[in-house]
Amino acid sequence: MPSSDETNSPRPGPRPAPLLTAGMMLAERGIYGMIWVDETLTTVARYGRLVDFVEVGEPLTRELLPLVGLEDEIRALKDSDGRVIELPGIAIVDNKGESPKINISVFWSKDEESFLVVLTRYSSRSDLEVELSRQIRARLMAEAEVMQTSKELAKTNAELARANRDLEEFASIISHDLKAPMRHLRYIVDEIETATEGALSGSAISKLSELRDQSRRMSGMLTSLLEYSSVGRKEEIAEEIDTHGLIHAIIGSMRRTPGFEIEIAGFWPTISTVVAPLDLVLRNLVDNAIKHHDRADGHIRISCADKGDTLLISVEDDGPGIAKDQHAAAFLPFRRLKPGGAEGQGMGLAFVKRWVEAAGGRLDLESDPSLRRGTTMRLQWPKMT
């Protein structure tokens, strides 16, 4: 066993063998280092630059931190012939700068009656390799994040779809279920009238008739609500349709005062699309333009342009227009823009927009009465193939 003063001198013998010389060179270059340790696990000697940090006379594990906790296992090596404890790829990090990655091997040397700890430089990773690893990991981290986000997005979408479905079902159930009691209400009004035949005052009679009117109106709203909530739930089948013929048919069926003019302009092609919704949408847009007009000699211009996979149809009137702050409200169900304005079930544009969107199209409103009269509804309607 070497003594501590031999720490950095060649051993053994006066004339080192060639192999030993080579080994010494490697040790001096910090490729490997050796530590001799006694049975109390105290360092008794060391050799090589790599083990400079280990102090002779001190417990082995004081500086060789990775061996902390393994003391019993090391002692047991003495009785297990030829066993080696190996810890690869470890750096002992202190505040003194770069710490090399090392492999640590511990075994019992029978010849020298001591434990030998051999440190070898771990196939040192170049900066390039570390940079590569950093980039790969950064990408892995980002990918994991994207996966997580898209998983969450899919979940949110599914929840949204379910919430929408629930809402539609709710609307359809309540509107359906409320219709019967509403009809019953009107029936009771009739019964009261019969039961009190002639005994009621004029004002009581008119209140009853108002009650009947309001409940009828409410039934109408419920019917609309029911239809509204069912939009897009039926699968429509695409058909060929001559849009020129369609628009003429729609206009032909509209009631209007003799002075009211409707002009059809642009190019109306034959396309393949879901016909029933298109018919309904156009009918409603033209009907709205007439109904909300404040003059008997109004003018409506309906034009069409073919944009490849969509038709661009605009319905332009010279009516009173819709104030800018009312545009959003115009698309909400059951809103009448001005009190006492044209009647209907109040579903108007909300209904139309829903049909348009269910077909994959888009509806926009343009109007600014502070600049000039009139409203233009711009419809983008998809062709199907």
Partner 1 sequence: MIARKIMMLGEIGVGKSSIVQRLVFDRFDFNYKPTIGVDVYRYDLPPRPGREAMSLIVWDTDGNFGEAIFRHVYMREASAAFIVGDLSRRNTLDSMAKLGAGFREALPGRHITFLLNKVDLVEAALRMEVPEPLVPFAAPVVTTSAKTGENVQQSFIDSADAIIRRDQ
Interface residues with partner 1 (CB under 8 A) are 61, 65-66, 68-70, 73, 85-95, 99, 101, 122, 125, 130, 133-134, 137-138, 140-141, 144-145, 147-148
* Of residues 115 and 355, the one with the C-beta less far from partner 1: 115
What's the min distance (Å) between Cβ of 95 and partner 1? 6
What's the min distance (Å) between Cβ of 100 and partner 1? 11
What's the min distance (Å) between Cβ of 256 and partner 1? 59
Relative orientation angle of helices 348-358 and 275-291, to the nearest 10 degrees: 150
What's the min distance (Å) between Cβ of 124 and partner 1? 11
For 92, phi then psi, to 5°, come to -100, 110
Peptide bond into 66 cis (omega under 30): no
Q: Which residues contact 360 (CB under 8 A, 6 or more apart)?
A: 382
What's the min distance (Å) between Cβ of 58 and partner 1? 12
* Of residues 117 and 286, the one with the C-beta less far from partner 1: 117
Alpha helices in 29-80 (DSSP H): 71-76
What's the min distance (Å) between Cβ of 25 and partner 1? 26
Q: How far does CA 222 lie from the centroid of its chain?
A: 35
* Of residues 84 and 158, the one with the C-beta less far from partner 1: 84
Cα–Cα distance for residue pair 216/214, rounded to 1 Å: 5
Secondary structure class of 72 (helix, strand, coil) = helix
Residue 189 · residue 212 · CB < 8 Å: yes
Residue 180 Cα distances to 173, 184, 218, angstroms:
12, 6, 11
How many residues make up the chain in this entry?
385
What's the min distance (Å) between Cβ of 127 and partner 1? 11
* Of residues 118 and 315, the one with the C-beta less far from partner 1: 118
Q: Which residues contact 193 (CB under 8 A, 6 or more apart)?
A: 200, 205, 208
Residue 300 · residue 290 · CB < 8 Å: yes
Secondary structure class of 366 (helix, strand, coil) = strand
* Of residues 89 and 341, the one with the C-beta less far from partner 1: 89
Q: Render 224-271 in DSSP notation, one character per residue.
A: HHHHHHHTTTSPP--EEEEHHHHHHHHHHT----TT-EEEEEE---EE
What's the min distance (Å) between Cβ of 329 and partner 1? 34
* Of residues 87 and 241, the one with the C-beta less far from partner 1: 87
DSSP E strands in 130-254: the ranges are: 239-242
* Of residues 77 and 290, the one with the C-beta less far from partner 1: 77
* Of residues 25 and 141, the one with the C-beta less far from partner 1: 141
Q: Which two structure tokens, joined as six digits, stand for 370? A: 């502070």
* Of residues 9 and 95, the one with the C-beta less far from partner 1: 95
What's the min distance (Å) between Cβ of 141 and partner 1? 5
